[in-house]
Amino acid sequence: MPRPVEALVHPAALAHNLGRARAAAPDARVWAVVKADAYGHRIELAYAGLRGADGFALLDLAEAERVRALGWRGPILLLEGVFEPRDLELCSRLQLWHMVHSAEQIDWLAAHKTQQPHRVFLKINTGMNRLGFTPGSCRSAWARLAALPQVDEISFATHFSDADGERGIAHQLEAFEAATRDLPGERSVANSAAILRHGARGDWVRAGILCYGSAPDYPAHDIRHWDLRPAMTLRSRLIAVQSLQAGDSVGYGSRYRAAGAQRIGIVACGYADGYPRHAGTGTPVLVDGVRTTTVGRVSMDMIAVDLTPVPHAASGSEVTLWGRGPQGSVLAIDEVAHAAGTVGYELMCAVAPRVPLRAEG
Ligand SMILES: *Cc1c(COP(=O)(O)O)cnc(C)c1O
């Protein structure tokens, strides 16, 4: 029997979550953002749930080829554009739309030989200060692109730094609108947090994390608030049960000591499976669908959990690290991430290659 840890991808949940983006942005077309191998869900498994999107946005050219190989004929957008001149050949061949964020990328386009003019998104840096033209240089960049025979349609994009937080998006939106005023072309500004918290804006929205059933602004709001469903379950089983007496310790560093008699379960899942090592005692977990917590340090291949709330649990009991448990139980990935001092994004992207991944429901 294989080690019992496994990850499940839920296409129906992906489709439901995509529907939430549509409902929140009814006038926009929706990019399903599938970078980082669909946030760890694997593009081939996520595709069935996300094919109702208007396009797929990603970074990696090999991932774009995989989306085309699945039969997708609609738009694909490279969110960071091309990395070197010869990437433009693949853009021509696979009809990829690409972000243009630097003068160098315009030079490459100007030297590119193609029968098929490209659709590009001009990226404006409105305050994130990672990629894009400053508001002051965006008009000249647009004019250069507009003069190229290699380019047919030019759209505009920017990215928000604080859509999930207190600062919000107004200052960046203002800078974007001022920079692009009077220039023709479609607009794309909103990520998941902007879609959910600030309403739809622009012709295209870029729905990433919300598709996967994580709240972009947890703990301010959770997936129930936004009506999102977990698209990934990480689950395993108890492989041993220990009965502790008062004073007994658990795991490396003896980080947990039992106050009295206590049963704990040992789960076949550890940080080498992608479970966060920084999740300390008290991280939520489901055993047979019943909520309990971890105790002691996470090891490479094992975690210990308190069985006090689940007295019937035994070796073989199902353990839900995040996602869907038995009998309709749910443990949001955001709760586990929060307990480990990180975000759902990181956990779903970090499920280890040794964990078998398959689609279910
Ligand atoms: C990753 C990414 C997104 C999606 O962000 P979420 O917070 O996951 O919705 C949108 N736009 C760009 C440019 C990105 O890189």
2 has pLDDT over 90: no
Per CATH, 11-214 and 232-359 having the same topology is answered no
What one-character DSSP code corresponds to residue 117? P
Retrieve residue 306's tokens.
């308190």
How many angstroms separate the CA atoms of 53 and 192, rounded? Answer: 14
Retrieve residue 174's tokens.
């203002």
How many angstroms separate the CA atoms of 321 and 212, rounded? Answer: 16
Cross-strand bridge partners of residue 33:
57
What is the reported pLDDT for 55? 98
Distance 350 CA to ligand 1 centre (A): 17
What is the reported pLDDT for 361? 84
Contact 20 CB / ligand 1 (< 6 Å):
no
Residue minimizing CA distance to atom 15 of ligand 1: 79
Cross-strand bridge partners of residue 119:
153
Q: Is 252 marked active-site?
A: yes
Instruction: Identify the three-state secondary structure at position 345.
Output: helix
**Would the pTM of this model clear 0.85, i.e. be above it?**
yes
Mutate to test the pocket of ligand 1, among 100, 129, 156, 191 (most ligand atoms within 8 A of CB): 191
Distance 208 CA to ligand 1 centre (A): 5
The percent of residues above 70 in pLDDT, for the chain, comes to 100
1: pLDDT confidence band, cut at 50, 70 and 90?
A: confident
Nearest to 345 by CA among 158, 183, 209, 230: 209
What is the reported pLDDT for 118? 98
Main-chain phi, psi angles of 69, to 5 degrees: -65, -25
208: pLDDT confidence band, cut at 50, 70 and 90?
A: very high
What is the reported pLDDT for 200? 74
Residue bearing tokens 């647009």: 142
User: Which CATH superfamily does the domain covering 11-214 fall into?
Assistant: Alanine racemase (3.20.20.10)
Q: What is the mean pLDDT of residues 334-347?
A: 98
Compare 361 and 153 and report the one with higher pLDDT.
Answer: 153
pLDDT tens readout for residues 101-136: 999 999 999 999 999 999 999 999 999 999 999 999
Contact 191 CB / ligand 1 (< 6 Å):
yes
What is the reported pLDDT for 154? 98
Nearest to 107 by CA among 76, 75, 140, 85: 85
What is the rounded average pLDDT for all residues in the chain? 97
DSSP string, 221-259: S-HHHHT---SEEEEEEEEEEEEE-TT-EESGGG-EE-S
What is the reported pLDDT for 174? 96
267 has pLDDT over 90: yes
Residue minimizing CA distance to atom 14 of ligand 1: 79
- Helix residue ranges, H only, 25-137: 35-39, 43-50, 61-69, 87-94, 103-111
Contact (CB, 8 A) for 320 and 291: no
pLDDT tens readout for residues 147-178: 999 999 999 999 999 999 999 999 999 999 99
> What architecture is the 232-359 domain classified under in CATH?
Beta Barrel (2.40)
293: pLDDT confidence band, cut at 50, 70 and 90?
A: very high
How many angstroms separate the CA atoms of 104 and 123, rounded? Answer: 13
Hey, what amino acid is at 287?
Answer: V
Atom of ligand 1 nearest to the CA of 39: 8
Contact (CB, 8 A) for 14 and 46: yes
Retrieve residue 99's tokens.
């972000």
Cis amide leading into 26 (omega within 30): no
Q: What is the mean pLDDT of residues 214-226?
A: 98
Residue-range domain boundaries for the chain: 11-214, 232-359
How many angstroms separate the CA atoms of 215 and 123, rounded? Answer: 26
| Angle between helix 61-69 and helix 87-94 axes, rounded to 10 deg | 20
